[in-house]
Amino acid sequence: MTLAANLIQIMRGISSRRRQAWFRALGVRIEGHLWLRNISIPRNWHSIRLADGVALDDHVVLLCTACPADGGISIGNNSYLNRFTMIDASIAIMIGRNCMIGPHCYITDHDHGFAPGMLVRDQPLRGAATTIGDNVWIGAGAIILKGVTIGDNAVIAAGAVVTSAVAPGEVVAGVPARRRRMIADAG
Protein backbone atom coordinates (compact mmCIF):
# COMPACT_ATOMS: atom_id res chain seq x y z
CA MET A 1 0.00 0.00 0.00
CA THR A 2 1.35 3.45 -0.90
CA LEU A 3 1.90 6.24 1.59
CA ALA A 4 -1.05 8.18 0.13
CA ALA A 5 -3.34 5.15 0.46
CA ASN A 6 -2.21 4.65 4.07
CA LEU A 7 -2.92 8.29 4.89
CA ILE A 8 -6.38 8.09 3.33
CA GLN A 9 -7.14 4.96 5.37
CA ILE A 10 -5.97 6.66 8.57
CA MET A 11 -8.07 9.76 7.87
CA ARG A 12 -11.16 7.62 7.19
CA GLY A 13 -10.61 5.82 10.49
CA ILE A 14 -10.30 9.10 12.36
CA SER A 15 -13.48 10.42 10.69
CA SER A 16 -15.36 7.23 11.62
CA ARG A 17 -14.28 7.52 15.26
CA ARG A 18 -15.31 11.18 15.30
CA ARG A 19 -18.78 10.29 13.95
CA GLN A 20 -19.12 7.52 16.57
CA ALA A 21 -18.30 9.99 19.36
CA TRP A 22 -20.77 12.53 17.95
CA PHE A 23 -23.65 10.07 17.66
CA ARG A 24 -22.89 8.59 21.11
CA ALA A 25 -23.09 12.11 22.56
CA LEU A 26 -26.48 12.55 20.87
CA GLY A 27 -27.77 9.32 22.46
CA VAL A 28 -27.30 6.60 19.83
CA ARG A 29 -26.58 3.32 21.63
CA ILE A 30 -23.29 2.18 20.11
CA GLU A 31 -22.03 -1.18 21.33
CA GLY A 32 -18.42 -1.65 20.33
CA HIS A 33 -16.49 -0.52 17.28
CA LEU A 34 -18.29 0.61 14.13
CA TRP A 35 -17.39 1.79 10.65
CA LEU A 36 -19.40 4.93 9.90
CA ARG A 37 -19.02 6.84 6.67
CA ASN A 38 -20.98 10.02 5.90
CA ILE A 39 -24.35 8.90 7.33
CA SER A 40 -27.47 10.74 8.51
CA ILE A 41 -29.38 10.21 11.75
CA PRO A 42 -31.56 13.33 11.80
CA ARG A 43 -33.50 12.82 15.07
CA ASN A 44 -34.60 10.48 17.88
CA TRP A 45 -31.03 9.27 18.39
CA HIS A 46 -31.99 7.41 21.59
CA SER A 47 -34.17 5.07 19.47
CA ILE A 48 -31.22 3.61 17.58
CA ARG A 49 -28.93 0.72 18.62
CA LEU A 50 -25.85 -0.25 16.62
CA ALA A 51 -24.02 -3.43 17.67
CA ASP A 52 -20.30 -4.17 17.44
CA GLY A 53 -18.92 -4.42 13.91
CA VAL A 54 -21.77 -2.59 12.16
CA ALA A 55 -20.67 -0.79 8.98
CA LEU A 56 -22.76 2.01 7.47
CA ASP A 57 -21.58 3.32 4.10
CA ASP A 58 -21.98 6.80 2.59
CA HIS A 59 -25.43 8.42 2.67
CA VAL A 60 -27.15 5.73 4.75
CA VAL A 61 -30.12 7.28 6.58
CA LEU A 62 -31.47 5.95 9.90
CA LEU A 63 -34.77 7.74 10.51
CA CYS A 64 -36.92 7.24 13.60
CA THR A 65 -40.22 9.10 13.86
CA ALA A 66 -42.06 8.91 17.19
CA CYS A 67 -40.82 5.38 17.96
CA PRO A 68 -42.00 3.87 21.27
CA ALA A 69 -39.45 3.43 24.07
CA ASP A 70 -39.01 -0.28 23.29
CA GLY A 71 -38.91 0.25 19.50
CA GLY A 72 -36.73 2.08 17.02
CA ILE A 73 -33.93 0.76 14.86
CA SER A 74 -31.64 -2.06 15.99
CA ILE A 75 -28.81 -3.33 13.79
CA GLY A 76 -26.98 -6.51 14.87
CA ASN A 77 -23.30 -7.39 14.98
CA ASN A 78 -21.26 -7.21 11.78
CA SER A 79 -24.13 -6.11 9.53
CA TYR A 80 -23.35 -3.85 6.56
CA LEU A 81 -25.62 -1.27 4.93
CA ASN A 82 -24.44 -0.06 1.54
CA ARG A 83 -24.69 3.45 0.07
CA PHE A 84 -27.97 5.41 -0.08
CA THR A 85 -29.94 2.86 1.95
CA MET A 86 -32.73 4.22 4.18
CA ILE A 87 -34.16 2.60 7.31
CA ASP A 88 -37.42 4.42 8.17
CA ALA A 89 -39.01 3.45 11.51
CA SER A 90 -42.04 4.62 13.46
CA ILE A 91 -42.52 1.36 15.44
CA ALA A 92 -39.53 -1.02 15.30
CA ILE A 93 -37.10 -2.33 12.69
CA MET A 94 -34.72 -5.06 13.81
CA ILE A 95 -31.87 -6.17 11.55
CA GLY A 96 -30.01 -9.29 12.66
CA ARG A 97 -26.33 -10.19 12.71
CA ASN A 98 -24.08 -10.58 9.66
CA CYS A 99 -26.58 -9.10 7.19
CA MET A 100 -25.53 -7.55 3.89
CA ILE A 101 -27.88 -4.85 2.58
CA GLY A 102 -27.20 -3.49 -0.89
CA PRO A 103 -27.23 0.11 -2.10
CA HIS A 104 -30.43 2.13 -2.56
CA CYS A 105 -32.58 -0.15 -0.38
CA TYR A 106 -35.59 1.08 1.62
CA ILE A 107 -36.79 -0.70 4.77
CA THR A 108 -39.84 0.56 6.67
CA ASP A 109 -42.32 -0.45 9.35
CA HIS A 110 -45.18 1.86 8.39
CA ASP A 111 -47.23 3.47 5.64
CA HIS A 112 -49.95 6.12 5.48
CA GLY A 113 -53.67 5.58 5.61
CA PHE A 114 -55.64 6.40 2.48
CA ALA A 115 -59.22 6.96 3.63
CA PRO A 116 -61.40 8.78 1.09
CA GLY A 117 -62.17 12.46 1.67
CA MET A 118 -58.98 13.11 3.66
CA LEU A 119 -55.69 14.55 2.47
CA VAL A 120 -52.90 11.97 2.33
CA ARG A 121 -50.66 14.17 4.49
CA ASP A 122 -53.34 14.19 7.22
CA GLN A 123 -53.76 10.41 7.27
CA PRO A 124 -52.40 8.61 10.33
CA LEU A 125 -49.44 6.26 10.00
CA ARG A 126 -50.23 2.54 10.10
CA GLY A 127 -47.38 0.44 11.38
CA ALA A 128 -46.17 -3.03 12.27
CA ALA A 129 -42.66 -4.08 13.31
CA THR A 130 -40.31 -5.28 10.57
CA THR A 131 -37.73 -7.97 11.39
CA ILE A 132 -34.77 -9.17 9.35
CA GLY A 133 -33.06 -12.32 10.64
CA ASP A 134 -29.36 -13.20 10.77
CA ASN A 135 -27.15 -13.65 7.70
CA VAL A 136 -29.69 -12.14 5.30
CA TRP A 137 -28.57 -10.75 1.94
CA ILE A 138 -30.72 -7.97 0.47
CA GLY A 139 -29.86 -6.95 -3.10
CA ALA A 140 -29.59 -3.44 -4.50
CA GLY A 141 -32.76 -1.38 -4.67
CA ALA A 142 -34.92 -3.82 -2.71
CA ILE A 143 -37.86 -2.51 -0.68
CA ILE A 144 -39.00 -4.19 2.55
CA LEU A 145 -42.45 -3.04 3.70
CA LYS A 146 -44.16 -2.87 7.10
CA GLY A 147 -44.82 -5.95 9.17
CA VAL A 148 -42.50 -8.20 7.16
CA THR A 149 -40.39 -10.87 8.85
CA ILE A 150 -37.43 -12.20 6.89
CA GLY A 151 -36.00 -15.46 8.24
CA ASP A 152 -32.34 -16.27 8.82
CA ASN A 153 -30.16 -16.99 5.77
CA ALA A 154 -32.72 -15.63 3.29
CA VAL A 155 -31.83 -13.82 0.06
CA ILE A 156 -33.85 -10.91 -1.32
CA ALA A 157 -33.08 -10.27 -5.01
CA ALA A 158 -32.16 -6.84 -6.32
CA GLY A 159 -35.23 -4.69 -6.98
CA ALA A 160 -37.63 -6.96 -5.09
CA VAL A 161 -40.56 -5.47 -3.17
CA VAL A 162 -41.17 -7.63 -0.09
CA THR A 163 -44.75 -7.40 1.19
CA SER A 164 -45.03 -10.63 3.18
CA ALA A 165 -42.95 -13.00 5.31
CA VAL A 166 -39.88 -14.72 3.85
CA ALA A 167 -38.99 -18.13 5.30
CA PRO A 168 -35.49 -18.96 6.57
CA GLY A 169 -33.23 -19.92 3.65
CA GLU A 170 -35.73 -18.73 1.04
CA VAL A 171 -34.71 -16.81 -2.09
CA VAL A 172 -37.31 -14.29 -3.26
CA ALA A 173 -37.48 -11.96 -6.27
CA GLY A 174 -39.95 -9.76 -8.13
CA VAL A 175 -42.68 -7.20 -7.51
CA PRO A 176 -44.24 -8.31 -5.28
CA ALA A 177 -41.50 -10.69 -4.14
CA ARG A 178 -42.27 -14.38 -4.65
CA ARG A 179 -40.36 -17.52 -3.71
CA ARG A 180 -37.89 -18.60 -6.37
CA ARG A 181 -36.17 -21.41 -4.46
CA MET A 182 -34.60 -22.42 -1.18
CA ILE A 183 -30.87 -21.94 -0.58
CA ALA A 184 -30.37 -25.75 -0.45
CA ASP A 185 -32.10 -26.21 -3.86
CA ALA A 186 -29.95 -26.69 -6.94
CA GLY A 187 -30.13 -24.12 -9.74
- Tens place of pLDDT per residue across the chain (187 aa): 788 888 888 888 888 899 999 999 999 999 999 999 999 999 999 999 999 999 999 999 999 988 888 889 999 999 999 999 999 999 999 999 999 999 999 999 999 888 899 898 888 889 999 999 999 999 999 999 999 999 999 999 999 999 999 999 999 999 999 999 888 764 5
pTM of the model: 0.92
* CA atoms within a 13 Å half-sphere pointing along the CA-CB vector of 38: 3
Strand order in the sheet with 72-75: 29-30, 48-50, 72-75, 92-95, 130-132, 149-150
B/e letters for 42-57, b = 16+ CB within 10 Å, e = fewer, are eebbebbbbbebbbbb
Beta bridge partners of 61: 40, 86
Instruction: Tell me whether residue 96 is exposed, middle or buried, using C-beta atoms within 10 angstroms of its C-beta: 0 to 12, 13 to 18, 19 or more.
Output: buried
* CA atoms within a 13 Å half-sphere pointing along the CA-CB vector of 151: 12
112 is catalytic: yes
- Predicted confidence at residue 51, as pLDDT, reads 98
Active-site residue identified among 46, 59, 104, 112: 112
